[in-house]
Structure 1
Amino acid sequence: MTTTSRSGSAATDAGGSRPGGIRELARVAGVSITTVSRALADHPGIALKTRERIQQLARETGYRANPLASSLRSKKSRTVSVVIALDHDTRQHVSDPFFISMVGGVTDALFERGYELLLSRADRRAPDWPLDMLSTGRSDGLILIGQSYNHETLNRAAEAGAPMVVWGAALPDSHYPTVGSDNEGGGYLATRHLIASGRRRLAFLGDPDLPEVAARRAGFQRALGEAGLDPAAARYAAVHFEPLQARDEVAALLAGGLNADGIVASSDVMAMSAIAALSDAGRRVSEDVAVTGFDDVPSAAYTTPSLTTVRQDVAAGAERLVDLLMRQLGGEAVTSVELPTHLVVRRSAP
């Protein structure tokens, strides 16, 4: 599934959208904001006729250039900021194995294109941190790994002309392009597998306020409904991604009487934490409780027992992230990309 991105299709002053802004100019011209920006700068990569048409439209609409966009056009660092957008409140770490795998893939893809990588951790408490990063001139664009709770911030940055691509779910009102996995389909695959193996008392672990987790939960519920099981009767717990915190939270659930025979966790780290808590409580995995994860990080095959999980194609995801950003920097309009997921069956849920 692909959804049309409006990345770079809007611009705002500090106080919001304005008449004759770059968003309106791009809409009238039928091109992306990046194309408008480069046409107004007389960029040779934009066809002469297109440049002349956009420049004429700008004169007719009274468009005045956004200072941020102008500064971005004038600087070429051959560097891309790769940003880990985490939720600080839950103490999730950059050392999460999924993030490490994705950063490695992005690094390789950037190197092949002659770009350097500037790794950063976003502080979502700063209201416009993507624009703050780009305004320094240290990088030409942003690749964000994870949306966390940053959707509105990212939309504002896209509306101001920030070249960026985000790893995560494509949201209906998104102005920025995303690359992500079929989260709903992955949640469905894991749940259907547990049901097919005879599990009926299922629990879902993960915070549905996060877009990707919400989609995985929707797949969980769809599989239950198709099997004639009441989704409302399942157990749901907003367990976090940080390993020690997740282990404590699952332990508390077990102490409180959780009687599940199957657990669908929203990440491999969360699933591994659940396995540890189950072992501490004297519950056997997979005999008493089958557990599935999501990601297929390298260590998933080497846990005890090895983890049944939903595989995200990290290598393909990293390549698409870099490709979409390079195309934006070259003046192209881009669309969001959704990659398929696959179930990898191991011993935690045979």
Structure 2
Amino acid sequence: MPPKIRSESNQAGARPQNIQELAKIAGVSTATVSRALTGAGHLSPATRERIQKLAADLQFKPSTTARNLRIGRTGAIGVVVPIGHERTQHLSDPFFMTLISHVADRLADHGYDALLSRVVPSDVDWLDRIAQSGRVDGIIVIGQSDQALVLDQIARAYKPMVVWGAHIEGHAYRTVGSDNRLGGRMATEHLLAQGCRKLAFFGDPTVPEVEERLRGFRDALKAAGDGVAGALLPVHFVPDMALATISDYLGIADRVDGIFAASDTIAMMTIQALADHGRSVPADVKVIGFDDLEIARHTLPPLTSIRQDLGRGAQALVETLLALMRDEAAASVLLAPTLTVRASTASTPD
């Protein structure tokens, strides 16, 4: 027999502030109200319906925070961007903005808020403090920066974490990322196919993903054999710093005819620096970037780039994290890059 509910009039005329007050008005236990409003547990349909109607009539909305505390979850996922290698880099970087927006959308699809943090690591405990804060149910790390050892240490004790970036053999954390080495090789082979013979790689190889792109660059040069040459120029991701470094290099570089930039932002700065030096793209120098962000369509000339499917990557990040949160097995995900050809590497007539 369902529990009897008292008159559905609230003599005080005030909206109940918590389920205890609603339970008192309804003449039932707080557990019964909780089961009625959450749909959890065993309760007769008639009782559930009557309590839900009473809550609606009194305009009662249960506290999400209180409910999350009872069930041991926060409803938030930490989206963390560590800036260890490039301390002046900002979240306004087009790559970060694109991937973070995709991740936030996919988290919202599953009912989670994104708690965004840009972290300049000052010690080895920065990630542990986030994991143990009680503010998030899991962590998505955007980029490994130079923090692979910290990530590995935390992953051995804190399971619900997934990282965007290159998989490093022997490390405990799960990753989702593109095959950067393959992408680097594809970019370089494209430049070679366009007739480039003196190539340069612009990027910071202390970042694991960039290091893999550089390996692909070198793989393609080695396979091409004699008659080609390659140089490495370490370049910052911060646009103004990148522009200055590239400009200085172009002032002394001799006859470079193909440049593989480790990101679209660096490629944009490369095109600007070449123009400042009176060199035309693609007639004098062909330029290819990496990421294929929306900005690649709007450079002058439009930028050829290695495409990372960031939408698919964000979905894989969220799905992998949710599996780990359910204590399920989840493997790292490697996405295949593709080549998007635009005018910055177009062949020019003899």
- TM normalised by structure 1 equals 0.77
* Alignment partner, residue 318 of structure 1: 314
Q: Distance in 2 between matches of 1:333 and 1:230?
A: 49
- Find the partner of 1:158 among 149, 155, 159: 155
Task: Show CA shifts across 1:151-185 (max 9, x none).
Answer: 01001111122420000000012110000001011
Q: Distance in 2 between matches of 1:118 and 1:258?
A: 48
* Alignment partner, residue 82 of structure 1: 79
The alpha carbon displacement at 1:97 in A equals 0.5
The alpha carbon displacement at 1:296 in A equals 0.6
| Aligned residue identity for 2:112 | Y
Higher relative contact order (CA 8 A, sep 6+): 1
* Alignment partner, residue 137 of structure 1: 134
| Aligned residue identity for 1:180 | G
Q: Secondary structure at the match of 2:241?
A: helix
| 8 Å Cα contact 2:131/2:158 also seen in 1 | no
Unaligned runs of 5+ residues in structure 1 are 1-71
| Aligned residue identity for 1:143 | I
| Aligned residue identity for 2:204 | D
Q: Distance in 2 between matches of 1:191 and 1:139?
A: 41
Q: Distance in 1 between matches of 2:307 and 2:175?
A: 18
The alpha carbon displacement at 1:256 in A equals 2.0
Residue identity over aligned pairs, in percent, reads: 45
- Find the partner of 1:290 among 286, 289, 292: 286
* Alignment partner, residue 213 of structure 1: 210
Closer, same or farther in 2 for the Cα pair 1:74/1:162, shift >3 Å? farther
* Alignment partner, residue 88 of structure 2: 91
How do 1:258-337 and structure 2 match up within 5 A? Answer: 258-337=254-333
The alpha carbon displacement at 1:136 in A equals 1.6
| 8 Å Cα contact 2:87/2:120 also seen in 1 | no
| 8 Å Cα contact 1:310/1:341 also seen in 2 | yes
Closer, same or farther in 2 for the Cα pair 1:202/1:91, shift >3 Å? same
| Aligned residue identity for 2:161 | M
Matched, 1:240 2:217: no
Closer, same or farther in 2 for the Cα pair 1:219/1:343, shift >3 Å? same
Unaligned runs of 5+ residues in structure 2 are 1-68
Task: Show CA shifts across 1:195-220 (max 9, x none).
Answer: 01110000011121211111111111
* Alignment partner, residue 226 of structure 1: 223
- Find the partner of 1:182 among 179, 182, 188: 179
Task: Show CA shifts across 1:30-62 (max 9, x none).
Answer: xxxxxxxxxxxxxxxxxxxxxxxxxxxxxxxxx
Q: Distance in 2 between matches of 1:246 and 1:183?
A: 21
* Alignment partner, residue 17 of structure 2: none
The alpha carbon displacement at 1:123 in A equals 2.4
- Find the partner of 1:126 among 123, 128, 135: 123
Q: Distance in 2 between matches of 1:197 and 1:219?
A: 17
| 8 Å Cα contact 1:275/1:291 also seen in 2 | yes
| 8 Å Cα contact 2:161/2:173 also seen in 1 | yes
| 8 Å Cα contact 2:85/2:146 also seen in 1 | no
Once superposed, what is the RMSD of the aligned Cα atoms?
Answer: 1.7
Closer, same or farther in 2 for the Cα pair 1:89/1:105, shift >3 Å? closer
Deviates most, 93-102 or 253-262:
253-262
The alpha carbon displacement at 1:89 in A equals 4.1
* Alignment partner, residue 17 of structure 1: none
| Aligned residue identity for 2:133 | T
The alpha carbon displacement at 1:74 in A equals 7.8
* Alignment partner, residue 69 of structure 1: none
Q: Distance in 1 between matches of 2:163 and 2:254?
A: 36
* Alignment partner, residue 256 of structure 1: 252
Answer with 1 or 2: which has the greater Rg.
2
Matched, 1:195 2:195: no
The alpha carbon displacement at 1:75 in A equals 3.5
Task: Show CA shifts across 1:43-92 (max 9, x none).
Answer: xxxxxxxxxxxxxxxxxxxxxxxxxxxxx998310110001122364522
| Aligned residue identity for 2:137 | D
Q: Distance in 2 between matches of 1:282 and 1:73?
A: 66
Matched, 1:341 2:337: yes
The alpha carbon displacement at 1:131 in A equals 1.4
Q: Tell me the number of residue pairs that the alignment of Structure 1 and Structure 2 aligns.
A: 278
Q: Distance in 1 between matches of 2:284 and 2:334?
A: 35
Q: Distance in 1 between matches of 2:282 and 2:110?
A: 45
Task: Show CA shifts across 1:311-332 (max 9, x none).
Answer: 0000000000000100000011
* Alignment partner, residue 61 of structure 1: none
Closer, same or farther in 2 for the Cα pair 1:73/1:268, shift >3 Å? farther
How do 1:56-67 and structure 2 match up within 5 A? Answer: none
| 8 Å Cα contact 1:239/1:249 also seen in 2 | yes
Q: Distance in 1 between matches of 2:261 and 2:190?
A: 13
